[in-house]
Structure 1
Amino acid sequence: MEHQLFSHKQLAASCFNKVWDYLDKEVLSPEEKEEMIHLCHSSFWHWTQVEDHTRQNISIGYWQLSRVYAVVGQGESALFYAKRCITVGTSANLNPFYIGYGYEAAARAFSTLKQFEQCKEMMKQAHDYVEKIVDNENKQLLLNDLNSIPYSV
C-alpha cells in the first residue's frame, strides 16, 4: 500500500510539473493544449488518491485546472475550477496566499470570458487577500500574476 501511495504522489507531482512546462511556453499547439488539460486532470486525480493529501493540495489542483482552462480559452471551465478553489480555500481556512490565488483564478476566468466587471470584482477580492499575506515573496508572486490579467477591452 505504501508503494502505491508514493506512486500516486509521484505521478501527481510529475503531471503537475509537466503542466508548468506547457504554461511557461509562449505558444501552444492544439495538441499541446489537449495534453496539458489531460495532464492537469491526471495530476488532480492522483492527488485525490494520496491518502494524506491536504485541502491545500486540492486547492492548488483546482487553481491549476482553472489556469489551464483560461490559457486554452475555455472560460466557463476556468471559472468552474476557480470557484472550487475559492470554496476549498475558504472552507479550510487556508493561508491567504491560496485563497488569494483562488480569486486570481476567478479574475482570469472572467477576463477570458470578457466579463470585465466581474473580473475587476475578483481582482479586488484577490488584492484584499494580498494584504493578508505575510511572506513578501508569496505576496509578490500573486501580485505579478494579478498584474498579468487583462481586465478591459
Structure 2
Amino acid sequence: MDKFTKDKWHRKQAVENFNKTWDLIEKKDRTKEEDLEMIHTAHASRFHWGLAGTPLNYARGEWQISRVYSLLKMGDSALLHGERSLDLCLQNNFGDFDLAFAYEAVARAYMVIGEEAKMEEYISLASKSAENIAKKDDKEYFISELNSIKLRSKA
C-alpha cells in the first residue's frame, strides 16, 4: 500500500469511528457493550487521526475521548484527554469553538470528579473563550453544552 493510499485509508477509518462514536454519544439508552464500543471507537478514531491527520484532528479526537469518559463517569480519564485537547489547542493557537470546547472538556471532567472550584474555573475560561466563536449557531450550541455542566448536588 503506498503512502497516499495508507493516509486515505486512515482518514476514512478516523472519520467512520468518530461518527460512530458520536452516534453512541447521542444514544439515550446504551447497553454496557455499547459503552465499551464507544470507548473503543473514540480511541480508534484518534489513533487513525494520529497517523493521517493534523494537530486540529488530534485536538478534536482528544476532546471526543474526554466526552466519552465524562459520559461514563470516568473522571480521571476524561481529565487526561480533556487536558490533552486543551494543550493541543494552546500549542497550535487554535481558537474559536475548538479552544472553547477544550476548556469545556476539562470543566466537564472536573464535574465528574466532583471538584467544584476547578470545574467553575474551567467553565469561566470556556465562557470567556466562547466570546471568540465566530458563527452564531456554533456559539449557541457551545453555550447549550457548557450550560449542561453542573454538579449533581446543584442539579
Measured against the shorter chain, the TM-score band is: over 0.9
Q: In 2, Cα distance between the equivalents of 1:68 and 1:133?
A: 23
For the 8 Å contact 1:120–1:151, the answer to whether it is kept is no
The residue that corresponds to 2:91 in the other structure is 91
Q: In 1, Cα distance between the equivalents of 2:40 and 2:71?
A: 14
The residue that corresponds to 1:41 in the other structure is 43
Shift of 1:149: 1.3
Which residue identity does 1:139 align to in structure 2? K
Q: In 1, Cα distance between the equivalents of 2:31 and 2:152?
A: 26
Question: Which of 14, 19, 22 is equivalent to 1:20?
Answer: 22
Number of residue pairs the alignment of both structures matches: 151
1:3 is aligned to 2:5: yes
- Runs of 4+, deviation exceeding 2 Å: none
Shift of 1:152: 5.3
For the 8 Å contact 1:116–1:152, the answer to whether it is kept is no
Shift of 1:75: 0.3
Shift of 1:27: 2.2
TM-score normalised to the size of structure 1?
0.95
- Structure 1 unmatched ranges of 5 or more: none
TM-score normalised to the size of structure 2?
0.94
- Structure 2 unmatched ranges of 5 or more: none
Q: In 2, Cα distance between the equivalents of 1:152 and 1:120?
A: 14
For the 8 Å contact 1:96–1:130, the answer to whether it is kept is yes
For the 8 Å contact 1:107–1:118, the answer to whether it is kept is yes
